[in-house]
Amino acid sequence: MAAVVGIQDLRRPAGFALLTVVVAACYFGAGRLGLLRRLVVDHAVVTPIWPPTGVALACLLFFGLRAWLGIALGSLLVVVSISAPHPAVMGILAGNTVAPVCAYLLLRRVGFRNDLSRFRDGLALVFLAALAAMLISSTVGVWLLVLTGKLPGDRFWTVWPAWWVGDAMGVLIVTPLLLAARGARWPPPLTRWKEVAAFALGICALVPLATLSPVSLLFLVYPLLICAALRFQLAGSMVCALLISVMATVSATRHIGPFEGLSPVAVMMKLQAFNGAMALTALLLSAVITEQRNTRRSVELACQELVEVLEHLTAGEPPPRDPDHGAPRGTDEELLGFEDRPHAGERARGTGGSTPPADGDRERRPGPPRPG
């Protein structure tokens, strides 16, 4: 999506209008996909995963605060498409817009990196963007339903957690997936196609068994998540998490497999607890592995440069030149940490006589004439 709208073009009115339309279309499309599998909890429609929150945050991370208008427009289209206009619409629209904007500001405040190459980036996305910022949209939305009489007041604490977790799951699954897709190399290297095919076969075999079997076998998906994070880092683990979450949501909405015979509230609680634990495992584990790999590459590069320097010093050659600036990296003494100090006989000559010369370096001058 970032390739469709150039950053430089966003400064123009036409570019801003195009950005707004693209973001609104993506938000609306994600909303319609999320509504394909929804649950009714106490006469309120909730979705186990609300993808538009993840799409909105990703658009803000890609384009900045200029994307807020497209988020608001897309949210309006989604709300109007599932319910008749009522006074609570504007409040829900404001909550759905403010929540991802606050998530974006919090992430930028702590120096979040879009490549999720550090463990702290994963923690920030989980606790600041998903769990903290999504409190805004869920609290505003449910309170407005209560105030307008569309939801009984005693049902607030039943619907509010489902709304909150659904919005948070969109951030935990969809946002990392879009960030990984933007930073991935396309097309992927052909040398890993066999490994990808074997891993896909494993997913096709184990995921349906874990999510459709009447025996509770949901724990079988965790080895797949660990393997995906180890071998394919963020992109592989989040794709795997998304597929598992979709299959679990299908089973929950059909009340089959491990969700058979449960009440709607119990189904929602079990599904969201499973999706949350799975998304946290995939996101944080891949962030840790990526950070460790980057650290190892940095250490290997530093060791390689040190070996080159020592080889030149041993051979008595000048130090290698910096490939970036074409200048020598330093003298032998500077590279080894020694300063170029003058010898005893060369100290402070011509500096006003502040340091006396050594005895061996003093010039022999004739003494005063003896009286005759």
**CA–CA gap between residue 68 and residue 64 (Å, rounded):** 8
Q: Bridge-partner residues for 20, per DSSP?
A: none
**CA–CA gap between residue 170 and residue 101 (Å, rounded):** 15
Q: Which DSSP string do the residues of 30-48 spell out, in sequence order?
A: HHHHHHTS-EEETTEEE-S
Q: What is the CA radius of gyration of the chain?
A: 32
Q: Bridge-partner residues for 39, per DSSP?
A: 46
pLDDT at residue number 9: 52
pLDDT at residue number 316: 72
- For the chain, which residues score pLDDT lower than 70? 1-11, 42-43, 186-190, 317-372
pLDDT at residue number 352: 45
**CA–CA gap between residue 272 and residue 262 (Å, rounded):** 14
pLDDT at residue number 360: 46
Q: What is the DSSP letter of 87?
A: T
Phi, psi of 153 (to 5 degrees): -65, -30
Give me the half-sphere count of Cα atoms (radius 13 Å) on the Cβ side of residue 106.
20
Enumerate the domain spans of the chain. Answer: 12-299
Phi, psi of 46 (to 5 degrees): -130, 155
Q: CB 186: neighbour CB atoms within 10 A?
A: 5
pLDDT at residue number 341: 46
**CA–CA gap between residue 151 and residue 189 (Å, rounded):** 52
- Per-residue pLDDT of 51-80, as tens digits, reads 999 999 999 999 999 999 999 999 999 988
> pTM of this prediction?
0.76
pLDDT at residue number 315: 78
Surface-to-core class of residue 155, CB atoms within 10 Å of its CB (0-12 exposed, 13-18 middle, 19+ buried): middle
**CA–CA gap between residue 26 and residue 5 (Å, rounded):** 13
